Structure 1
Amino acid sequence: MFIRRLAGLASLAALGAASVFSFAPLYLGPLMPVSLVAWLWATATAPNARAAALAGYVWGLGYFVANIHWIYISLHTFGGMPGWMAAGCTLLLSAYMALFPALAAWLGRKLPSPGSLRLPLLLPTLFCASEWLRGTLFTGFPWAEIGTSQIPSWPLAGYAPILGTYGVGWLLLVGTGLLVAQWRRPTRWIAVATLWLAGWGLLNVSWTTPVGQPVKVSLAQSNIAQDMKWETAHYVNNLRVNLQQVQQARGDIIVLPETAIPSFLADVPPWYLDTLRDAAGKRALVLGVPLQGKGASEYYNGAMVLTDPSQPVYKKQHLVPFGEFVPAPWLFGWMYRFLDMPLSGFSRGAVKQAPFVIGPTRLAANICYEDVFGSEIAQALPEATMLVNFSNLAWFDGSWAAEQQLQMSQARALETGRYMLRSTNTGATAIIDERGRVLARLPQRERTVLEGKAVNQTGLTPYGRWQNSPVLLIWLLSLLTLVVGGLRRKTNTNAF
């Protein structure tokens, strides 16, 4: 009996881990429902709430170990942590993340609900609500949302401009739950097929309007190894790479990646900045650079239009826990001291910041994993006509992290109906259109400049207008209706 139970839990973890293939770079979206069936069925058939929570936790552990395993690379390869310690920290974070599907499973068995709706509606709603909580609590870490697996071209992606990826994930789970609950009933298959066909139709809807002529853009990929980027001995060479790429660029807007200049702007020789401006000429040069604040301990991960000092600078507002700031320093401060990360302890910028004004383009900046947060990217609307992401994922070279983040940028483009430009250090540098399609990209770990065109877009998608509010309201009303219905049925049953 024990061996059978252990084998069952191992299978759950394996099916959770299999979800990684549904995301980029493979984009095998239909594999996600297969993985989710395991969570739904294990939760629904568990003998009690505690067993359901255990099943949900084991599935979640497999899910997150597979989808965020690349954190090990940053800690061990570039952070210098011993392998066992880096693996332990990665497992610890995965263990924390697995608490959310476990909580959803536990509540799914504890809350009263009409029996016929528990599997197809209550469990999907609780699961997706737990995903939202994961993306919000303690600044949030919404990496690998199930809805993102359907971006950009699987049918349910058509709902992203309306409900965002949280809504896409909910519809995916509801459809899966309908089939799992009563797969022999033809009406369930018809309902799910209708849901998917409607999504496919929505993929062809133009939610925003192109304005003006296409803009020529040049997106630099500097390909500077992480262990060289912050070394003093390589500083001059890093600056030389930037200059060469600006000279090579042919676009009207030139973008260099996150921390393209690996020092505070105030510490860069003025003659070098003038040389960069001369190389850009009348074109706009936008780049990532650390910015000093008013005090010695106040500094920002920033971006600016170097060729136009009158433009406001962008200061990253959603910082990476353990990468750019230390949550609970009394508990985790040892990690920063051990890793000796450069420029750790950044300050936060304002939640809403003005886009860069470059001719007819209103370019809204986001840095690194800020493009994981759909509602925050939508804050730039309706002013922004185009989005730009500055990233440096050299910390995770050799993994799928850059490809996964590219897919999240595709989700943000689709949700907002805006082009997304991505300039990264080692990849994935790309031009993404307003439908979330990658129009052009560079191979990873290659030093070159991506030349292409992007189009300014105006107007608002429903998601751009309301962000996550509609789907949160749908979940709340669904849960209230289910719980009240379950309580009434229980009361009626007890009355007899």
Structure 2
Amino acid sequence: MIQKLKPFLPHFLLALSGAISVFSFAPLYLFPLMWLSLAALTFFIQKSASPKAAAWRGFSFGLGFFLANIYWVFISLNTFGGVPAPMAAGGVLVLAAYMALFPALAGWLTLKLPSPASLRVLLLPTVFILTEWLRGWLFTGFPWASIGYSQSPMTPLAGYAPIGGVYLIGWLLCLCVALIVSKPKWLKGWGIVAGIWLAGWGLNQQEWTSKVGEPVKVSLVQGNISQDIKWDNAFYLGSLKNYLELTQKTRGQLVVLPETAIPSFISSVPDWYPKMLRDAVAPRKADLILGIPVLGAHEAEYYNAATVMSDPALPLYKKQHLVPFGEFIPLPWLFNWIYQFMDMPLSGFSRGAVKQAPFSLASGQIAANICYEDVFGREIINALPEATMLVNLSNLAWFDGSWAAAQHAQMSQTRALETGRYMLRATNTGVTAIIDEKGRFKKVLPERQAGILEGTAQNRSGSPPYAWGGDYPLLIALGSLLIALGLLKRRQ
């Protein structure tokens, strides 16, 4: 019996290793666990008998990794989406299995691609990060739990974020692990690892952007409206009153309310409400940004948007990267049937323009992004160099009580590092926070309670290297590295 199970032992250990990676991300930030997780993956792929065997091992690792890191999708589907529990669990399993295909591809390529034996240590880090980038791009992308986030912002590797973003952090992390696992007694390898860390520490001391003006007083409002009543007409006026009363208590020059703080189109809002919101901030001439769905120019066209409510002209930012299945239906001819089981209000949003001008306000050039958008570093940099501050408006009540909100906030920390900008997070239920240009939390509001986070934020100008090229310089470099390894092998 034991002999029959022995071939499955590596797969079990890999799935377990993938699963423990969840503790390396927020809210626990146990970053060494990602090193252990990747060490197991590296060891077992190197010991694989064939590319096919390596692919299956990569898949096992990925399945454990993603089941642990996106378990909260079940809460969204079942608790708030109304999907029956067995179907919701099956949906999470299918999504995790799809995402596990990318580390499976990395395993296959590691054994399939040519390379000199002395340089094979470079293969897995390179193909792993290339496939991870592919996961964040294909079918609009889902880059959640990219491994680089596990080292940001608290390790020296985070110092590389302004240079090459989260994927450069991930590649260097994989390289360090591969050097240690492949050649544990090679002193030069340990020297390279130490050099990478020391250089990262030095880069983290670098000021990539400059201060603009004096610090701005900001007020970030957290309404704590439960998702099960947020879109219920019986609670509509109560929700409006909740945000009005909180806004009246704010003291900042920039006041930010969360995504869909007003849960209806502006045409459905009582006439008195926008005026009372403006009156709440008018005495100190403060700027007020909030989330609201807006109608487009054509029939059945509507957007998830942010507007400057303190400006009667209501300038808009329209969300451009929508959440699959939550905000739009991918391949409707294939997936439309799912919606008979789901309760997803306003699930047919239109996309805004890829590049939109920041809000030009007294408090700064404020670039808004909405919820899921700040998971995509390559898109956040579209606001630079004009934007002097970033603002994220989110509603993560869909995943209430899970680690999704903390994981999302860690990605916001990395966006702050990549852009050299403050990131203000105004959320419905958390994590509402002020994040500085180094990705550090300056102030955080406790989750799942109504309140106002009062603090200061600094406008900044200038562009770190990542803001100029995004992910593309790294992708070109890694692709060139694979070609070079192949050519060197052919010469041998």
Question: Which of the five TM-score ranges fits, normalised by the shorter chain?
Answer: over 0.9
Partner residue, 2:243? 242
**Secondary structure in structure 2 of the residue aligned to 1:411:** helix
Q: 1:369-388 alignment to 2 at 5 Å?
A: 369-388=372-391
**CA distance in 2: counterparts of 1:200 and 1:357, whole angstroms:** 35
Aligned residues of 1:388 and 1:421 also touching (Cα < 8 A): yes
Mapping for residues 301-340 of structure 1, pairs under 5 Å: 301-310=304-313, 312-340=315-343
Query: Any residues of structure 2 matched to 1:444-463 within 5 Å, and which?
Result: 444-463=447-466
Work out the CA distance in 1 between the residues paired with 2:358 and 2:212.
17
Question: How many residues matched?
Answer: 488
- Partner residue of 2:30? 28
1:115-159 CA distance string (max 9 Å, x none): 2222x2111100000000000000000000111111112010000
Aligned to 2:353: 350
Deviation per CA, 1:412-468: give whole Å up to 9, x if none: 000000000000000000000000000001111010000000000001101112211
Aligned residue identity for 1:329? P
**Are 1:423 and 2:456 counterparts?**
no
1:181 matched residue in structure 2: 182
Match of 1:361 in 2: 364
SS in 2 for 1:60: helix
> Any conservation in 2 of the 1:311–1:356 contact (CA below 8 Å)?
no
* Shift in Å, 1:346: 0.2
Query: What SS does structure 1 have at the residue aligned with 2:261?
Result: coil
Query: CA offsets, 1:188-236, max 9 Å, x none?
Result: 1111111111111111111100111100000000000000100000000
Aligned partner letter, 2:7: R
In structure 2, which of residues 281, 295, 300 is the aligned counterpart of residue 297 of structure 1?
A: 300
Q: Report how far residue 473 of structure 1 moved.
A: 1.6
Q: Which residue of 1 aligns with 2:112?
A: 110
User: CA–CA distance in 1 between the matches of 2:312 and 2:483?
Assistant: 53
C-alpha displacement at 1:263, in angstroms?
0.3
Alignment of 1:83-122 (within 5 A): 83-118=85-120, 120-122=121-123
Residue 245 of structure 2 aligns with an amino acid whose one-letter code is Q
Show the counterpart of 1:493: none
Could you say which residue in structure 2 is the equivalent of 1:65?
67
Tell whether the 8 Å contact from 2:254 to 2:363 is kept in structure 1 after alignment. no
Structure-1 separation of matches of 2:363 and 2:96 = 44
Q: Which amino acid in the other structure matches residue 23 of structure 1?
A: F
CA positional deviation for 1:5: 1.7
Is 2:142 the partner of 1:141? yes
- Structure 1 residue 301 displacement after superposition: 0.2
**CA–CA distance in structure 2, aligned partners of residues 312 and 125 of structure 1:** 43
Percent of pairs with identical residues: 59
Root mean square deviation of aligned Cα: 0.9
- 1:311 deviates by 5.7
Match of 2:487 among 467, 484, 493: 484
2:19 paired residue number: 17
User: Does structure 2 conserve the Cα–Cα contact (< 8 Å) formed by 1:311 and 1:357?
Assistant: no
Letter of the 2:228 counterpart: D
Deviations 1:351-378 (A, max 9, x none): 0001011115000000011000001001
CA-CA distance at 1:347 after TM superposition: 0.1
Q: 1:236 & 1:3 partners in 2: Cα distance? A: 60
Alignment partners' CA distance in 1, 2:186 and 2:117: 17
Residue identity opposite 2:101 in structure 1: L
2:475 matched to 1:469?
Answer: no
The secondary structure found in structure 1 opposite 2:443 is strand
1:70-102 Cα shifts (integer Å, max 9, x gaps): 000001111121211110000100000000000
Aligned to 2:62, the other structure's residue is in SS state helix
Which whole-Å CA distance do the structure 2 matches of 1:459 and 1:310 have between them? Answer: 29
Amino acid of the structure 2 residue aligned with 1:185 = W
Q: Following superposition of structure 1 onto structure 2, how do residues 154-173 of structure 1 map, counting pairs within 5 Å?
A: 154-173=155-174
Provide the TM-score with structure 1 as the length reference: 0.97
Q: Is the 8 A contact 2:253 2:363 kept in 1?
A: no
- Provide the TM-score with structure 2 as the length reference: 0.98
Q: CA deviation at 1:488?
A: 2.6
- Contact 1:312/1:354, CA 8 A, preserved across alignment: no
Query: Which residues of structure 1 form unaligned runs of 5+?
Result: 490-496
> 1:324, CA displacement in angstroms?
0.3
Q: Which residue of 2 aligns with 1:227?
A: 228
Amino acid at match of 2:178: G
- Contact preservation (8 Å) 2:10, 2:57: no
Question: Within the alignment, does 1:401 sit opposite 2:404 as a pair?
Answer: yes
In structure 2, what is the Cα distance between the partners aligned to 1:42 and 1:165?
25
Give the one of 50, 53, 56 matched to 2:55: 53
**Matched position secondary structure for 1:422:** strand
How far apart, in 2, do the equivalents of 1:383 and 1:370 lie?
Answer: 18
Distance 2:182 2:80 in 1: 47
In the alignment, the residues of structure 2 paired with residue 396 and residue 235 of structure 1 have an alpha-carbon distance, to the nearest angstrom, of 21
- What is the CA–CA distance in structure 2 between the aligned matches of 1:6 and 1:122, rounded to whole Å? 25
CA distance in 1, matches of 2:266, 2:255: 18
* 2:267 alignment partner, SS class: helix
Give yes or no for contact 2:82–2:343 (8 Å, CA) kept in 1: no
Bigger mean CA offset, 3-12 vs 284-293: 3-12
User: Whole-Å Cα distance in 2 between the matches of residues 104 and 441 of structure 1?
Assistant: 38
**Is 480-489 or 434-443 further displaced after alignment?**
480-489
Give the 3-state SS of the residue equivalent to 2:258 in structure 1.
coil
Tell me if the contact between 2:388 and 2:459 (Cα under 8 Å) persists in the aligned partners: yes
Where does structure 1 differ by over 4 angstroms across 4 or more consecutive aligned residues?
none
Q: Does the 8 A contact of 2:48 with 2:54 survive in 1?
A: yes
Instruction: Give the distance between the partners of 2:140 and 2:433, measured in 1 at CA.
Output: 27
Q: Distance in 2 between matches of 1:370 and 1:182?
A: 40
1:471 maps to a residue whose letter is: L
The residue correspondences of 1:190-205 to structure 2 (distance < 5 A) are 190-205=191-206
**Given residue 162 of structure 1, which amino acid in structure 2 is its aligned partner?**
I
Distance 1:467 1:438 in 2: 24
User: Which residue of structure 1 aligns with residue 130 of structure 2?
Assistant: 129
Provide structure 2 residue ranges, at least 5 long, that are not aligned to the other structure. Answer: none
